[in-house]
Amino acid sequence: MQISYLKHMKVAKTIFSLLFILLTLITSTQSQVSFTVANSNTSPNTARHTNSLYTFQLSAIISTSINFDVGITFTPASAFILSGVSSCSFMINNVLVNSAQCTYQSSSNAIIFTQINNNIAITNMTISFRTSSALYANTFLLPISYYPPGTTSNAYSTNTAPIVITNALMTSCSIASSSNIVGAQANYSVSYEPSVFISSGSIIQIQFPAWSAYTLTNFPNFTSSAVCGGNCSIRNPNIASTLLNELITYSSMFSANTTLGRTLVLNNARNPASTQPISITITILQFISSTNQPSYMSCSASLTANTSNTFRSATILPSNLSISAVSTSTMLLNLTNPISSISYLTFSYDSDIGLSYAFATSNQATTQRLISSTVPNTFLIGNLTNSTSFFNSLFLSRFTFTNAPYGNVPLSITIQSSNLVGSIYYPIDTITLNYTFNPSEITSASVNALNKVINTVSIYNFTFRSINTLTTNSKIILTLPS
């Protein structure tokens, strides 16, 4: 019995030793077949591209001569719909391995490289191939596994390579307005042409910047029934939650896959609040769940209202309308579109009128300042307001008027509001005011004929005195009896 027991113990020791040796060999192999990802990329790296080139550069942690296969798994499988692989290349130590083969393994959604047959110490590898990119934009971590030759199980080791996929750019997109006037009510036509297929259940979003600093929505009647016939939802900008863009979302537009473009009509919009172009973004998203809707295609389009609107009214009237009179006046400007801290008023006036401004009072809590202009007979007023809420009118005092030295001819002053962005003034509202000044009286006048005999030719001397000084090129009109 003792002899049998000793024999069994010896066998157990032998088995244990063999297992230990085997585990040591496996651990040693795993530590030797281990790499870091030096670089990984794909080109084009846009979503839904059907022939993207993937490249992975790997550096050995420990130089190894062990044979192995390599598998790159595309995960999550729902994001990568692969149909095959082409243009495979495998390089060891910057030398092409001509025997290397690659196949697409659908069961694991992986690209497998076999027959690497290396007999040299590996310090680096470069793997490349072509296949489809992801269905949507994201940063994906693709597992790279190193297997014993001929199998895709019991990997020696695995690491991950980041691949960044961005939105595909649409072939084209545009937005057009039914009006070209700043702030006018209008209908928008938004068109797009996709560059990749749009999958069933996808969502399309149209993003607008906030309309102005005070009144944020671009759709004053912002019910979806008024804007898109109830087929969309509208998320208004909200300063409190830092959502400064307005979002129009269509969630039920695509019942089947399509590659066709479309034009969407958005009613009851209002044009941009100045002539500065605005940019909208059209984005198509894949619906995965109510909390997971990644985008895969986008496009930006520009909209410009290139004609300024008209102030509702403006009053700036000299207290004395006699020619050449000098008087002071206040201005009341009723706004059509809002002005803000970046807004300016430009005054352009006829060369025969004198107009100047010096701050006295205002209905805004700022001290307006005069800004000279290089354009003759023009000046600007800035620092109009620091208000954080919309206001309808602007009151400024005081203006000094010098009337034209003649009357009965209408002369004009044009007032324009604009926003200064960078070095460009973008007009908002404009109004032109016309003034006709009253001619003065001649204080004394006389006429004398040198020859007073009837029916004879004579020289007449006319004498008169004017209240106002006559200017260069003035004309005298004499009316004689017939």
At residue 482 the predicted structure's pLDDT band, cuts being 50, 70 and 90, is low
Q: What is the pLDDT of residues 161-189, one digit of tens each?
A: 999 999 999 999 999 999 999 999 999 99
End-to-end CA distance of the chain: 164
At residue 479 the predicted structure's pLDDT band, cuts being 50, 70 and 90, is confident
In the chain, what percentage of residues exceed pLDDT 90? 74
Element housing 5 (H / E): helix 2-32
Q: Where are the alpha helices (DSSP H) in 201-324?
A: 224-228
Predicted local confidence at residue 213, as pLDDT:
81
Mean pLDDT of the chain: 89
* CATH class given for the domain over 169-303: mainly beta
Closest CA to 50 of 134, 143, 140, 108: 134
Say yes or no to pLDDT of 144 above 50.
Answer: yes
Mean of the pLDDT values across residues 223-234?
94
Quick one: CATH architecture of 31-166? Answer: Sandwich (2.60)
Q: Where are the alpha helices (DSSP H) in 47-144?
A: none
Mean of the pLDDT values across residues 312-338?
94
146 vs 157: CA distance, rounded Å = 6
Say yes or no to pLDDT of 95 above 80.
Answer: yes
Predicted local confidence at residue 481, as pLDDT:
72
Task: Tell me the longest C-alpha to C-alpha distance in the chain.
Answer: 178
Predicted local confidence at residue 237, as pLDDT:
81
Say yes or no to pLDDT of 455 above 80.
Answer: no
Q: With beta carbons less than 8 A apart as the criterion, state whether 46 and 167 touch.
A: yes
More reliable by pLDDT, 215 or 363: 363
222 vs 242: CA distance, rounded Å = 19
Predicted local confidence at residue 461, as pLDDT:
73
Q: Is 26 helix (H, G, I), strand (E, B) or coil?
A: helix
Q: What is the pLDDT of residues 49-89, one digit of tens each?
A: 999 999 999 999 998 888 999 999 999 999 999 989 999 99
- Given CATH 2.60.40.740, say whether it is the number of domain 309-435: yes
More reliable by pLDDT, 467 or 91: 91
Name the pairing type of β-strands 295-303 and 168-169: parallel
Domains 31-166 and 169-303 share a fold: yes
Predicted local confidence at residue 28, as pLDDT:
46
Predicted local confidence at residue 215, as pLDDT:
82
Closest CA to 121 of 69, 64, 70: 64
More reliable by pLDDT, 307 or 25: 307
Say yes or no to pLDDT of 240 above 70.
Answer: no
Say yes or no to pLDDT of 393 above 50.
Answer: yes
Mean of the pLDDT values across residues 250-271?
97
More reliable by pLDDT, 118 or 256: 256
Predicted local confidence at residue 390, as pLDDT:
87
At residue 26 the predicted structure's pLDDT band, cuts being 50, 70 and 90, is very low
CA angle 112, 114, 115 (to 5 degrees): 170
More reliable by pLDDT, 407 or 464: 407
In the chain, what percentage of residues exceed pLDDT 70? 88
Q: What is the pTM of this model?
A: 0.83
Show me where the domains of the chain are located.
31-166, 169-303, 309-435
Name the pairing type of β-strands 424-435 and 309-310: parallel
